[in-house]
Every structure is written in structure tokens, then in C-alpha cells.
């Protein structure tokens, strides 16, 4: 089935992906394309949204695409830079603003319009720009203003073209989603036909015809993406999907056996490969973080390659790649640049990487992956799991790595995570874990002096891991967790809580 499709032209705004997520939340399919690569088949798109941009329209190197095939021919919503772009090149005027135009503002309506159905006067919107629209373009009609921005929303008479100086996609624009719905559904007539159920049905059908009777191999990590990808493939090709779940010895306590059981319970054709000894032997005594990562990557490829070879006639490698990994991004500084991650199926790579690639999730954002998983009845705990780094606990043990340190950290981490769950804090935290520090400090236990390890607990809020803030966990929780760790984990006599945000700190300590 061909879905109604919305084209989002990216001018390099930090918020472009947010526009796409808001549109998808309305059950409308959309794609992001760079402004300088407008797709050829515009007949496939039912409406167009122009994003914001870090550029000034007045700058010579600013994006100035030719929109003549779109403007007036498709319903169009121009956001921020888009709104200024329309004004600047179509008979209006854009100039540096001399009042503050960043942050919250309140809308007042100048003219009634379907764009504002269900939105009340005074609705909060989010401004983020330094130029301002001094005069509307030819045939422009003012729809709304704010205290500091006269031309906050306008439309072009005689076209289905709307423009907003503020950002409806940002959560701080409280009625932003309603406004997008008004434009897309009521004004542009786009159908809301993109649902998790429709995605599952169509993807399973596509996978069936693409893969036929071919065998597919997939590496499960215990994380959300690979698990949902496996479930979709399993629905499509059943036993022809060969899943491999590798224990690198650096997973959380009991994770390998628990998650393996869960996978088996889901009916997956999964092989658990316990390669802990191979990883830990290779890592013994290594302290440099990048060396640890390289060793783990190399050993993983060796193990996976061996296992993939053992499957006769396997043709495909499935990956849990998601949409943010494949969107071509527009550089905010050096003009348009395509920084797309790609898979290079060329010589010199391990055999399994020469397989054809299938990526069933590459159209989805992370939150959509979870919704798709839920619609297939997958376990809530599996779908709600925190992200966990590929190199696992190795990059949470600062300094040289030994089996004993892995054991200590697994115990500490298990207490921390179980307590987050029992205090119902786990789902409020984006990622949490414990770090084993390379310092011993003095303590007393009973009458005895101790000289033992220190651990740091870290819990952060984030949306994508690029920026993060530490979570204000209740003191009582920290107190109980610290006591439990020191009482139960032999070798640890001190617990600290990490209160650094990213940037400048990173989430992992190595």
C-alpha cells in the first residue's frame, strides 16, 4: 500500500527530526530530504514542510533552493527559516531583529483561519531566530502575531501555502501538534494511515517477497532495535531467520541467560553463544578504552563470522538500523554535506559482511520501533530497556580489566538497576549504570579498617544520548542503594553519585 507521504525539506535546523517525529505521531508518513536534493517524483508527496536553519536568508552561502515545482502546486508549510525564505525572495523583507526573539511567546490571532482550529488565544509558541520578517511576501496575509514578532504566522492568498516564524515541532509550542494536524489533515487533506499495525503488515509482506526461501542471519544484542527487527523477520520467514546472541562476558548480571530465555519464549530460532572466555582472555589487563573497544569489536566479528559460516547457504545479514542513522544531514556550518552512514560490502571484510543487507527498521524512529514492538505483543520490559553500550561493562571499568572486576561491577549494577525498578524510577531514566573506579579508599567495617574499591552511579535523562542531564534521584533512594551495595558487594566500601551533565562530561566514563 502506498501511504500518504509528506516531504520535509531540511535546511539544517537542529529541530528537523522533531518535525518528522511530530508528523509521524499523527500517524502520517513523512521523509526528510536535504534542501539541495529535492526528490524527483514529487507526485509521491501530498504536502511539503520547510524546516528552520542556522543560516540567515540574507547570507550568500545560505540555502536558496528552487521551489518552483512545489510552491503553489503542493500544500506547503514553511517553518522559521522557511517562512523567512518565502518572504525574502517573493517581494517581502527580512532584516536583523532588534528585539529578543528567542524562547517562549504567546500568539494573538489577527485573522481567523482553519490553521488555528482548537487553539486558544495566548497559546504558547517557541521562537528561535535572529532575523525577522519586516514585510510579508506578495499576496501574503497576516494570521497571527506575538508581543515581539508582528509577522508570526501568515498565508499566501491564492495558494495553500502557510508560514510560521515559530517552531510548532518543539514541545514548548504547546499546541504545535494540533497546528501541524490542522495544516496536514484539515487543510492539506493528508490521510492518517501510518500506524504500527499497518507498518507490521506491510513490512512482513515486503520481507516475504524480498527474501522468499532465503536464509537470514541476525545478531541479537538484547536491545530494542535488534529484538524488534528479529520479531518482524520471524513473522515473515520463521525458521529461516537464524539469530545469534553472543555473550561477551561483559553483559549485566544474568543477562545472557535471562534474555536468551526470553528470545526462545518469543519463538525465535536463536543460538546463544557463550564466548565470555574468548573476550575476557583478550581483554585481561588492557586499560586503554579505545583498545578495549577495538578488541571487543574484533573478537565479536570473529565469533559472529564463525557462527554465520556454520549456517549453510545463508544469503542475508539483517541489521537493526533505524531512521536517524540513514537520514542525510545538512551541515550547519560548511554548507550542504552528506554524512550518511553506509555499509560497504567490499573485499577485506569478514565473510558475513559480504552478505546482502536487510534493514526492516530503517524507516522508523526509536519511539516508533517501540510502538511497532508493542503492536506485535512484545514484552514491555524488553521494549523499555535502557540503551547499553556494545562494549558493555568493559568501558565502565576504569583502568585494567579483570574477571574479578567484572564480577564486582555486575553485582553493583544489578542492585542499582533492580532498585530503580522497584522504586518505579527505571522508566523515568533514559540510561543508568555503575562505574568501577580505579581507586581504593579507606573505610571501617565493624572494628576493621578496609581499603577497597569505589563505585560511581550514573543515571541520565536524554532523548538521543547526544546531550544528557543527570537525574535528580531521591536522596532516600540513593541512601538505601548505597547501603545495600556496601553491605552486599564484597570489595566495595564507597559509593558516589555522578552529577555531571553532557556536555561537557560524557555518559560513559571511558
Whether cis (ω within 30° of 0) applies to the bond prior to 504 is: yes
Query: What is the distance between the alpha carbons of residues 98 and 96, in angstroms, rounded to a whole number?
Result: 7
Nearer to ligand XMP, 270 or 432 (CB): 432
> What is the per-residue binding string for ligand XMP in 15-54, x denoting contact by CB under 6 A?
----------------------------------------
CB of 501 to ligand XMP, least distance (A): 11
For ligand XMP, which residue of 214, 465, 480, 498 counts as binding (CB under 6 A)? Answer: 465
Contact call for residues 76 and 49 (beta carbons, < 8 A): yes
Residue 500 annotated as binding site = no
Q: Which long-range contacts (CB under 8 A, 24 or more apart) does 87-91 make?
A: 87/133, 87/135, 87/136, 87/137, 87/140, 87/151, 87/163, 88/57, 88/58, 89/57, 89/64, 89/137, 90/137, 90/138, 91/137, 91/138
Q: Which helix (H) or strand (E) holds 20?
A: helix 16-25
Residue 270 annotated as binding site = no
Query: What is the distance between the alpha carbons of residues 416 and 497, in angstroms, rounded to a whole number?
Result: 11
- Of 3, 46, 88, 169, which one is the catalytic site residue? 169
Region binding ligand XMP by CB under 6 A among candidate stretches 60-68, 129-137, 386-394, 419-427: 386-394
80 carries an active-site annotation: yes
For ligand XMP, which residue of 176, 372, 391, 458 counts as binding (CB under 6 A)? Answer: 391
What 8-state DSSP symbol labels residue 94? E
240 contributes a contact to ligand XMP by CB under 6 A: no
Residue 227 annotated as binding site = yes
Nearer to ligand XMP, 390 or 399 (CB): 390
507 contributes a contact to ligand XMP by CB under 6 A: yes
508 contributes a contact to ligand XMP by CB under 6 A: yes
- Of 3, 30, 46, 80, which one is the catalytic site residue? 80
Nearer to ligand XMP, 52 or 391 (CB): 391
Residue with cell 514492538: 373
Residue with cell 566495595: 492
Region binding ligand XMP by CB under 6 A among candidate stretches 109-117, 122-130, 389-397, 492-500: 389-397
Query: What is the distance between the alpha carbons of residues 337 and 173, in angstroms, rounded to a whole number?
Result: 30
Q: Helices 289-310 and 276-283, interaxial angle, to 10°?
A: 150
Residue 325 annotated as binding site = no
Region binding ligand XMP by CB under 6 A among candidate stretches 118-126, 151-159, 318-326, 383-391: 383-391
Chain CA centroid to CA 34, Å: 19
502 contributes a contact to ligand XMP by CB under 6 A: yes
CB count in 10 Å sphere of residue 418 = 14
CB of 505 to ligand XMP, least distance (A): 8
Nearer to ligand XMP, 278 or 293 (CB): 293
For ligand XMP, which residue of 187, 389, 419, 486 counts as binding (CB under 6 A)? Answer: 389
CB of 502 to ligand XMP, least distance (A): 5
Q: Spell out the SS3 assignment of 125-137.
A: EEEECCEEEEECC
Query: What is the distance between the alpha carbons of residues 119 and 446, in angstroms, rounded to a whole number?
Result: 65
Provide the residue count of the chain. 510
157 contributes a contact to ligand XMP by CB under 6 A: no
For ligand XMP, which residue of 65, 324, 390, 443 counts as binding (CB under 6 A)? Answer: 390
CB of 468 to ligand XMP, least distance (A): 7
**Angle at Cα 100 formed by Cα 96 and Cα 105, nearest 5°?**
120
293 contributes a contact to ligand XMP by CB under 6 A: yes
129 carries an active-site annotation: no
- Of 101, 167, 411, 510, which one is the catalytic site residue? 167
289 contributes a contact to ligand XMP by CB under 6 A: no
172 carries an active-site annotation: no
Residue 221 annotated as binding site = yes
Nearer to ligand XMP, 49 or 296 (CB): 296
CB of 234 to ligand XMP, least distance (A): 24
140 contributes a contact to ligand XMP by CB under 6 A: no
- DSSP alpha helices (H): ranges in 317-389? 323-326, 366-375, 380-383
CB of 366 to ligand XMP, least distance (A): 12
CB of 300 to ligand XMP, least distance (A): 11
Residue 416 CB-half CA count within 13 A = 27
For ligand XMP, which residue of 254, 441, 487, 506 counts as binding (CB under 6 A)? Answer: 506
For ligand XMP, which residue of 165, 431, 481, 482 counts as binding (CB under 6 A)? Answer: 431
320 contributes a contact to ligand XMP by CB under 6 A: no
Contact call for residues 243 and 271 (beta carbons, < 8 A): yes
Query: What is the distance between the alpha carbons of residues 164 and 144, in angstroms, rounded to a whole number?
Result: 9
DSSP 231-288: HHHHHHHGGGEEEEEEE-S-SSTTHHHHHHHHHHHTT--EEEEE-HHHHHHHHBT---
Point out which residues bind ligand XMP (CB under 6 A). Answer: 293, 387, 389-391, 431, 465, 502, 506-508
**Residue stretches of the annotated binding site for ATP:** 221-227
Active site residues: 80, 167, 169
Amino acid at each position: 500500500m502506498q501511504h500518504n507521504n509528506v516531504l520535509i525539506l531540511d535546511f539544517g535546523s537542529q529541530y528537523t527530526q522533531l518535525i518528522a517525529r511530530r508528523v509521524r505521531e499523527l500517524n502520517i508518513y513523512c521523509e526528510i530530504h536535504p534542501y539541495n536534493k529535492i526528490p524527483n517524483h514529487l507526485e509521491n508527496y501530498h504536502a511539503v514542510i520547510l524546516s528552520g536553519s542556522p543560516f540567515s536568508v540574507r547570507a550568500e552561502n545560505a540555502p536558496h533552493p528552487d521551489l518552483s515545482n512545489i510552491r503553489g502546486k503542493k500544500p506547503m508549510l514553511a517553518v522559521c527559516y522557511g517562512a523567512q525564505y518565502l518572504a525574502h525572495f517573493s517581494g517581502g523583507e527580512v532584516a536583523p531583529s532588534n528585539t529578543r526573539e528567542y524562547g517562549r511567546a504567546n500568539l494573538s490571532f489577527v485573522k481567523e483561519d482553519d490553521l488555528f482550529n482548537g487553539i486558544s488565544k495566548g497559546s504558547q509558541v517557541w521562537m528561535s531566530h535572529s532575523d525577522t520578517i519586516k514585510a510579508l511576501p506578495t499576496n501574503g496575509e497576516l494570521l497571527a502575531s506575538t508581543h515581539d514578532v508582528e509577522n508570526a504566522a501568515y498565508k499566501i492568498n491564492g495558494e495553500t501555502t502557510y508560514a510560521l516564524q515559530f517552531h510548532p515541532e518543539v514541545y514548548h509550542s504547546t499546541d504545535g501538534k494540533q497546528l501541524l494536524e490542522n495544516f496536514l489533515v484539515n487543510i492539506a487533506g493528508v490521510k492518517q494511515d501510518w500506524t504500527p499495525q499497518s507498518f507490521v503488515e506491510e513490512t512482513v509482506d515486503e520481507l516475504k517477497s524480498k527474501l522468499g526461501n532465503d536464509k537470514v542471519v541476525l545478531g541479537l544484542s538484547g536491545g530494542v532495535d535488534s529484538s524488534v527487527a528479529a520479531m518482524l523477520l520471524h513473522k515473515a520467514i520463521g525458521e529461516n531467520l537464524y539469530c545469534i546472541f553472543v555473550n561477551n562476558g561483559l553483559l549485566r548480571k544474568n543477562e545472557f541467560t535471562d534474555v536468551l530465555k526470553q528470545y526462545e519464549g518469543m519463538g525465535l530460532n536463536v543460538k546463544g553463544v557463550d564466548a565470555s572466555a574468548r573476550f575476557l582472555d583478550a581483554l585481561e589487563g588492557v586499560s586503554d578504552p579505545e583498545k578495549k573497544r577495538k578488541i571487543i569489536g574484533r573478537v565479536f566479528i570473529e565469533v559472529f563470522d564463525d557462527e554465520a559460516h556454520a549456517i549453510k547457504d545463508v544469503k542475508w545479514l539483517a541489521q537493526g538500523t533505524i531512521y536517524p542513522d540513514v537520514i542525510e544531514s545538512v551541515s550547519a556550518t560548511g554548507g550542504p554535506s552528506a554524512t550518511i552512514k553506509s555499509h560497504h560490502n567490499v573485499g577485506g571484510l569478514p565473510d558475513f559482511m559480504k552478505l546482502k543487507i536487510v534493514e526492516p527498521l530503517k524507516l522508523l524512529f526509536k519511539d516508533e520501533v517501540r510502538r511497532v514492538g508493542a503492536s506485535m505483543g512484545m514484552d514491555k520490559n524488553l521494549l523499555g530497556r535502557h540503551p547499553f553500550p556494545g562494549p558493555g561493562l568493559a568501558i565502565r571499568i576504569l583502568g585494567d580489566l579483570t574477571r574479578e572486576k567484572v564480577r564486582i561491577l555486575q553485582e553493583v549494577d544489578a542492585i542499582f538497576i533492580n532498585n530503580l525498578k522497584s522504586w518505579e524510577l527505571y522508566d523515568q531514566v533514559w540510561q543508568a549504570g555503575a562505574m568501577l573506579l580505579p581507586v581504593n579508599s579507606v573505610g571501617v567495617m565493624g572494628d576493621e579498617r578496609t581499603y577497597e574499591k569505589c563505585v560511581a552511579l550514573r543515571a541520565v535523562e536524554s532523548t538521543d544520548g547526544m546531550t544528557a542531564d543527570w537525574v535528580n534521584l531521591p536522596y532516600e533512594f540513593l541512601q538505601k542503594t548505597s547501603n545495600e551495595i556496601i553491605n552486599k558487594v564484597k570489595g566495595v566500601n564507597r559509593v558516589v553519585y555522578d552529577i555531571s551533565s553532557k556536555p561537557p562530561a560524557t555518559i560513559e566514563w571511558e
